[in-house]
Amino acid sequence: MQIDTTIVGAGVIGLAVAARLSERRQPLFVVERNASFGQETSSRNSEVIHAGIYYPAGSLKARLCVRGREALYQRLEEARIPHRRCGKLLVATEAAEADQLDSIRQRAADNGVDDLERLSGAGVRALEPQVRAVEALLSPSTGILDSHRLMRHLLSRARRKGCELVYRTKVERIRPRDGGGFDVLVRYPDGAQDCFFSRHVVNCAGLAADQVAASAGIDIDAHGYRLHLWKGAYFNCQAPSGYLKRLVYPVPPPHTVGLGIHATIDLIGRIRFGPDATYLPDGVLDYAVNSDDRDRFFHAAARYLPSLQADWLQPEMAGIRPKLQQPGDAVRDFVISEESGKGLPGLVNCIGIESPGLTSCLAIAEYVADLLE
Ligand SMILES: Cc1cc2nc3c(=O)[nH]c(=O)nc-3n(C[C@H](O)[C@H](O)[C@H](O)COP(=O)(O)OP(=O)(O)OC[C@H]3O[C@@H](n4cnc5c(N)ncnc54)[C@H](O)[C@@H]3O)c2cc1C
């Protein structure tokens, strides 16, 4: 069988790429090792539509987040997928943090996010009576969505155009052929193997994207493609109904890897705190949430929510970030690369697609389609 394009992985990125490429490229296959789509990082995140505030100017994260956010809002409207532009408060709880709000606002403006509003402590209380802050930034374009409904929409859009999804099938190797294209070796759960030819391959394998790239013969250490896994745990919060209407984030603590333990709400108003950031040195996919961490989450959140009660917090779930940096390294950007330069024309790698990958998914799909053109 000869396929035009094979996409490895049916997370939100693979599905967005499939929906986009299905408009032009057939036959198109998505190969997924799990029994269904979106069973890994795409269903273990905060479901926040990020504005694009924190990322270095000019980075793919900044550009694709800002472009992807508006494309996403438009798509969510058109397809009637549940979402809300609820807004987010970025709160300084002491004067030293308030000084950082200016530089955060400047960085956001450099990224084209120019709708941030500075609020006094009283302004914050008027919007969110439970939140204590000396000052804050309000981001009106931050929102929340139902990510599972988004993935279902992308999947059915791709399928309508003839894209085939193959579950319970692991891509083991991508072997370039002389004269172009790739032999894709797959393994089924019963251990049987198969091989097919695909002219192009898009690697959207999330936590295993570095291994898939390595299977094509790329030296992932020499090219800076090796992934480092960072767990992000969440605690849910049984606060009284209407306790918060917006997302509340602290000013990111210095040298932190995440954004600091923040409060998110979902579409029915449930609150949760997290994610924190724990390096998983041995690369094991550890999704356990330790109830002993409750005090740490409580104290972090109580800085901006003084009425919070520790016994409202319960361990919920964890997601794992596929980062390109290990402890002590500088922040890395997404890698989205067409690999002609490495002698692999027609292979596009998407590696290190951590946050804001969900927000950026439609823009990433567009970017991948342009690289393949
Ligand atoms: C704790 C946390 C919070 C986050 N919060 C947000 C947020 O609020 N907003 C936001 O924009 N982003 C957020 N993100 C980032 C976002 O969740 C990810 O960027 C996005 O889900 C990545 O999607 P993906 O498709 O690349 O990866 P995945 O969802 O992991 O999908 C990859 C797929 O590839 C499959 N696969 C892997 N190897 C193979 C193989 N060899 N063969 C076949 N299939 C394979 C896997 O089974 C998996 O289904 C968060 C991430 C984390 C961890």
* Alpha-carbon span 338 to 74, nearest angstrom: 28
SS3 292: helix
Shared-domain flag, residues 107 and 247: yes
Instruction: Please give the residue range of the domain that contains residue 21.
Output: 2-45+148-226+332-372
Question: Would the CB of 201 count as within 6 Å of ligand 1?
Answer: no
Residue 79 lies in a domain: no
Task: State the CATH number of the domain containing residue 115.
Answer: 3.30.9.10
CA of 241 to the centre of ligand 1 (A): 31
Question: Would the CB of 142 count as within 6 Å of ligand 1?
Answer: no
Q: With a cut of 50, which residues of the chain have pLDDT below it? A: none
* Alpha-carbon span 14 to 33, nearest angstrom: 13
Shared-domain flag, residues 152 and 250: no
Residue 50 lies in a domain: no
Question: For residue 91, how many C-alpha atoms fall within 13 Å in the half-sphere facing its CB?
Answer: 30
Atom of ligand 1 nearest to the CA of 356: 11
Copy the structure tokens of residue 372.
Answer: 């393949």
Instruction: Tell me phi and psi for residue 88, to 5 degrees.
Output: -140, 140
Cis preceding-peptide flag for 306 (omega within 30 of 0):
no
Shared-domain flag, residues 156 and 133: no
Shared-domain flag, residues 258 and 133: yes
CA of 125 to the centre of ligand 1 (A): 36
Shared-domain flag, residues 186 and 221: yes
Task: State the CATH number of the domain containing residue 22.
Answer: 3.50.50.60
Shared-domain flag, residues 311 and 175: no
Predicted pLDDT at 2:
79
**Tally of structural domains, the chain:** 2
Given 284, 304, 323, the domain boundary residue is 323
Atom of ligand 1 nearest to the CA of 358: 11
Q: 176-189, pLDDT tens digit by residue?
A: 999 999 999 999 99
For 99-145, give the secondary structure using H, E and C.
Answer: HHHHHHHHHHHHCCCCCCEEEEHHHHHHHCCCCCCCEEEEECCCEEE
CA of 203 to the centre of ligand 1 (A): 12
Residue 67 lies in a domain: no
Shared-domain flag, residues 132 and 266: yes
Question: Would the CB of 42 count as within 6 Å of ligand 1?
Answer: yes
Q: 108-129, pLDDT tens digit by residue?
A: 999 999 999 999 999 999 999 9
Shared-domain flag, residues 299 and 237: yes
Given 323, 342, 363, the domain boundary residue is 323
Residue 314 lies in a domain: yes
Residue 32 lies in a domain: yes
Is the full-model pTM beyond 0.85?
yes
Question: Would the CB of 13 count as within 6 Å of ligand 1?
Answer: yes
Predicted pLDDT at 1:
66
Shared-domain flag, residues 176 and 135: no
Residue 53 lies in a domain: no
Question: Would the CB of 204 count as within 6 Å of ligand 1?
Answer: yes
